[in-house]
Structure 1
Amino acid sequence: MSQTHFYEVSIQWKEGRIGELSSPVLEKTIECATPPEFPDGVPGIWSPEHLFVASINSCYMATFLAIAGNFKMEIEDFSCKTIAKLEMAEGKYLITRAEMFPVIRLNDAGKDAEKALRIAEKAKAGCLVTNSMKTEIILTPEIS
């Protein structure tokens, strides 16, 4: 498998501060807009800030599940809430911190909890999205 990959996403402006994201390799589109915290922002629509955090969550989940699979860890359920802090820093808006709260439910938590914790940390270290950003990542896993 090649070590280089390309991902194409386009945006088409619809109206106001709303656009529609698409990719030639995906069937579904995503509507996005300026968030309501900013002038002319639109509530109830995915924003670039939400998509930024969604990238963290989806990459972390994929990385965690891949590593867990390599370690033959049986996962009963996985979810992760991430809260990102956007603030004015260095004279511009930055997402300076993202706190991740993965909840990992195992078939045998008594036997595998320590292993799951190590995998959670390995997934944080191996996530290509968070490795590509300067945002501080804080991980607080819950294993049950």
Structure 2
Amino acid sequence: MEHRVAVSWERQGAFSHEGFERRHSLSFQPEVTLPAGGAGNDYGADPEQLLAAAMASCHMQTFLALAAKKRLTVDFYYDDAEAVLGQKDDGKFWIETLILRPRVGFSGDKVPDDAAVVAMHNKAHEHCFVANSVISEVVIEPGFQAT
């Protein structure tokens, strides 16, 4: 199965080694376009944020699938994901750590305890396609619903 995205950029103003416009767009379907830019921009998502978003979204989808199979009722799922930039010994920059901070709320007759939620996050991480595709360290810091 292929997952495609169209990246579109056009020059605006000067283009040189001293700088150029970093704004561009990402189109996922004909009617779904996301504004994007370079790191630290005020226009749209930067590539590092998009990697954190991909990891968080994949983890969430996998977690929700596991919860559904267990016949649990999930009321909400929030994450405050972060991509941490590092520098390798050879001077190249990379995303060395992706941090997920999922907060999940359950209701119904079967509400899992904290240990069961941690186990579900661990299993979700093991089966997440994006997690299985990156060399960055992934740290999961789950939050728990007050009972």
| TM bin (shorter chain) | 0.7 to 0.9
User: Structure 1 residues 26 and 61, CA, compared in 2 at 3 Å: closer, same or farther?
Assistant: farther
Deviation at 1:18, TM superposition (A): 1.1
SS at match of 2:79: strand
TM-score, scaled to structure 1:
0.84
CA-CA distance at 1:108 after TM superposition? 5.5
Could you tell me which residue of structure 2 aligns to residue 18 of structure 1?
23
Listed one character per residue, the Cα deviations across residues 69-105 of structure 1 (whole Å, up to 9, x for unaligned) are: 1111111211111122102114211100112111111
Moved more, 86-95 or 105-114: 105-114
Pair 1:73–1:44, CA change in 2 (3 A): same
- Aligned-pair distance for 1:49? 0.9
Residue from 34, 58, 72 that aligns with 1:30: 34
Which stretch shows the higher mean deviation, 25-34 or 103-112? 103-112
Question: Is the contact between residue 72 and residue 108 of structure 2 (CA under 8 Å) also seen in structure 1?
Answer: no
After TM superposition, give the deviation of residue 109 of structure 1 in Å: 9.4
Quote the Cα distance in structure 1 between the aligned partners of 2:52 and 2:2: 21
Q: Secondary structure at the match of 1:68?
A: helix
Identity %: 25
Greater helix share, structure number: 1
2:101/2:142 contact within 8 Å kept: yes
Alpha-carbon distance in 2 for matches of 1:74, 1:28: 29
- Give matches, 1:1-144, under 5 Å: 5-14=1-10, 15=12, 16-23=21-28, 25-36=29-40, 42-90=41-89, 91-107=91-107, 111-113=111-113, 114-144=115-145
CA gap of 1:111–1:22, structure 2 versus 1, over 3 A, is closer
Return 47-56 or 77-86, whichever deviates more: 77-86
Give the CA deviation at 1:122. 0.7
Structure 2: 5+ residue stretches without partners: 13-20
Q: TM-score when scaled to structure 2?
A: 0.82
1:143 CA displacement: 2.0
**RMSD of Structure 2 on Structure 1 (CA):** 1.9
State how many pairs are aligned: 134
C-alpha distance in 2 between matches for 1:117 and 1:108: 19
